Amino acid sequence: MTQGIQLFFSYSHRDEALRDELAKHLSLLERQGVLSSWHDRQITPGSEWAGQIDHYLEQAQIILLLVSADFLASNYCYDIELNRAMKRHADGDAVVIPVLLRSVDWQGASFRRLQALPKNAKPVTTWANQDEAFTDIAKGIRKVVEGLRMTVAEAQAEGDSATPGSNTGLTQEPNLQPSSAPADLEIPEGQVPLSSPFYVERPPIEADCYRAILQPSALIRIKAPRQMGKSSLMARILNHASQHGDRTVSISFQEADGDIFAELTSFLQWFCATIADALGLPDQLDQHWDGPLGSKQKCGNYFYRYILPALSGPLALGLDEVDLVFQYPKIAEDFFALLRAWHEKRNDPLWQRLRLIITHSKEVYVPLKINQSPFNVGLAKDLPEFTAAQVSELAARHGLSLEEDVVPLMEMLGGHPYLIRVALYHLATGRFTLPELLAIAPTEEGPYAEHLRRHLQNLEESPDLLAAMQVVLQSKEPTRVGSKEAFRLQSKLLSI
């Protein structure tokens, strides 16, 4: 088994803070035992200072030069450490990585001394900021480490106990150019913006929805687990409708106060008021909510006699994550029956103006009569995971070329859009290499810790579902669980 690659920090004491910051970007490699870094603050008390520096400088397989004006002005850093590093570099015994810090004076003596550096020296000032620079440097060091470990492993496999030398390829300069990842790389969270280059279409879903939303009395139902792209798709459908002259409103039931769900009247009044407010219409609930009619009829009248006539054309209404309403069965039963009733009035020219988009994660376990449910009419779309081709396309938009690496990535994450985007973001920013990401992904230290914790919490809240899940996981072949447990388990997992 190969030992950790030795890295030597050469720097001026005035640049210790920068050295510490760069060391943080290399901490994962150190925790994994594939890299061991050394700097002079690790010298043990009472030890001979120059002797320890000489020892670790001669043992290092990577020498990292943090070149600043202070570094170039220091006779020890320049005349001793730099010269020894360059000799080992020329002999092919070590990889020398010079990083030009922003304090370098490019004039006079400093400029002349810079000529002694390897030609692969990269100034930090070519990056947008220091953190981005150190991320790219760490990414380059990871590649060097991987190459060195592979060289040592091959030598050991051949029974060669020699350490890397002039024939090991150590003189190859690492690629420390700024990452090819797009400058507008997005943190993968929430809805993908309309202008984002990181939204990947899943044909023919988008095209079908774009056609459907322009039809009178349209009803589009989108179902998928959490973070699969439902809200992003809905935003694009609404944008398509807007481009064709429709007014659009998007409602998230997360915005409703808890007491809104206390009873049907307060819920429907909130629903009507929210839509009117989004359209810039004055609140007229008092004028339309009087009388002995039921709340559903009053809500329908508010739309038919006030909201729809106030508009010059169709209204595309997006109802995002209606799962929250499922938690209130009585309200859900009446509300969804009302949506179905409006859709059924498609022979009325005024009701034809209303086009609905409904997104949900869970299976609909609210008992709805078949002729009163909006979940069995209209255009239904279950969002699938990304295919290998779509993952590769998204990787390319992150400045990455996965090629055969798409297989192990999808073996770990499937084609779940959010999980894939998180992986590609970390790979594109140089936070992890692919082997590092795959190793840490299922752990508490990985970028998916919160996602996994949510899975576990959902199961632990339902002991019967946890038991059913354990049966499934422990079985090597397809197995049966109770129909009720199977339905609820699927619903729970789809809501994660």
β-bridge mates for residue 319, sequence order = 251, 358
Between CA 227 and CA 341, with CA 374 as vertex, the angle to 5 degrees is: 140
> Any idea which architecture 205-382 has in CATH?
3-Layer(aba) Sandwich (3.40)
Task: Report the CATH superfamily, name and number, of domain 5-157.
Answer: Toll/interleukin-1 receptor homology (TIR) domain (3.40.50.10140)
Q: What is the pTM of this model?
A: 0.64
Of the chain, the percentage scoring pLDDT greater than 70 comes to 82
- pLDDT at residue 230 in the model: 96
Both structure tokens of 371: 């002729």
Q: What is the pLDDT of residues 396-419, one digit of tens each?
A: 889 898 888 999 999 999 999 999
Q: For 44-48, 263-267, 475-479, which range has the lowest pLDDT when averaged over its residues? A: 44-48
In this structure, are strands 354-360 and 315-320 parallel, antiparallel, or unpaired? parallel
Say if residue 204 is preceded by a cis peptide, omega within 30 of 0: yes
Between CA 418 and CA 424, with CA 422 as vertex, the angle to 5 degrees is: 115
Looking at per-residue confidence, does 33 or 287 come out higher? Answer: 287
Both structure tokens of 181: 């990842």
Q: How confident is the model at residue 208 (pLDDT cuts 50, 70, 90)?
A: very high
pLDDT tops 50 at residue 115: yes
- Rounded to whole angstroms, how far apart are CA atoms 365 and 46? 73
- Rounded to whole angstroms, how far apart are CA atoms 428 and 187? 11
Q: What is the pLDDT of residues 294-343, one digit of tens each?
A: 999 999 999 999 999 999 999 999 999 898 898 899 999 999 999 999 99
- Rounded to whole angstroms, how far apart are CA atoms 23 and 138? 9
Q: Mapping DSSP to helix (H, G, I), strand (E, B) and coil, where does residue 224 land?
A: coil
Q: What are the sequence ranges of the domains in the chain?
A: 5-157, 205-382, 448-496
- Phi and psi dihedrals of 195, rounded to 5? -90, 0
Q: Mapping DSSP to helix (H, G, I), strand (E, B) and coil, where does residue 133 land?
A: helix
Cβ distance 446 to 197 under 8 Å?
A: no
- 7 contact partners, CB below 8 Å, separation of at least 6: 26, 35, 36, 37, 38, 60, 61, 62, 63, 64, 141
Q: What is the pLDDT of residues 12-67, one digit of tens each?
A: 888 888 888 888 878 777 777 778 888 877 776 555 677 778 888 888 999 888 88
Among 303, 415, 426, residue whose Cα is nearest residue 356: 303
- Rounded to whole angstroms, how far apart are CA atoms 409 and 198? 18
pLDDT tops 60 at residue 8: yes
**DSSP 8-state code for residue 216:** T
- Rounded to whole angstroms, how far apart are CA atoms 279 and 271? 13
Q: How far is CA 221 from CA 239, 365, 378, 445, in A?
A: 17, 16, 7, 37
- Phi and psi dihedrals of 66, rounded to 5? -95, 95
- pLDDT at residue 477 in the model: 83
Looking at per-residue confidence, does 494 or 194 come out higher? Answer: 194
Both structure tokens of 238: 């609404």
Q: How confident is the model at residue 157 (pLDDT cuts 50, 70, 90)?
A: low
- Are both 5-157 and 205-382 of the same fold? yes
- Phi and psi dihedrals of 250, rounded to 5? -120, 130
CA 169 to chain CA centroid, nearest Å: 36
- Rounded to whole angstroms, how far apart are CA atoms 366 and 325? 10
Q: What is the mean pLDDT of the chain?
A: 82
